[in-house]
A = this chain, B = another copy of it.
Amino acid sequence: MSAFKKFLPMFDRVLVQRFAAETKTKGGVLIPEKAQSKVLSAKVVAIGTGGRNEKGDTVPPQVKVGDKVLLPEFGGTKVVIDDEELHLFRESDILGKFESS
């Protein structure tokens, strides 16, 4: 994971790592890969300095590393860093975050 710490997303981009897909139903039945629904929850692994407002000042991001977030079904940019598939989303495209209980 440490590779991410060396990667700084630019501006309001957020680097996330999707959680692994459910491979079994709640009843324990194996789910074939094709039937596994796209994982929309993910962990924030790196954040940028934040977007810019109309003056060019930086606006601090509202998510932080370690947050658990809900991603939109579409959008985002797939990036491969040290052979790990990750995704970059604009902060404003992230739907919401789960408060750590």
Could you tell me how many residues of chain A have their Cβ less than 8 Å away from some Cβ of chain B? 39
Q: Cβ of A9 and Cβ of B79 under 8 Å apart?
A: no
On chain B, the residues within 8 Å of A25 by CB distance are none
Say yes or no: is A99 at the interface (Cβ < 8 Å to chain B). yes
Complex contacts, A46 vs chain B, CB 8 Å: 96
Does A64 belong to the interface (CB within 8 Å)?
no
> Quick check: B9 and A95 within 8 Å, CB to CB?
yes
Q: Which 10 A-B pairs have the closest CB atoms?
A: A56-B59, A53-B56, A9-B96, A6-B99, A54-B54, A53-B55, A10-B96, A10-B94, A6-B98, A8-B97
Residues of chain B lying within 8 A (CB to CB) of residue A10:
62-63, 91-92, 94-97
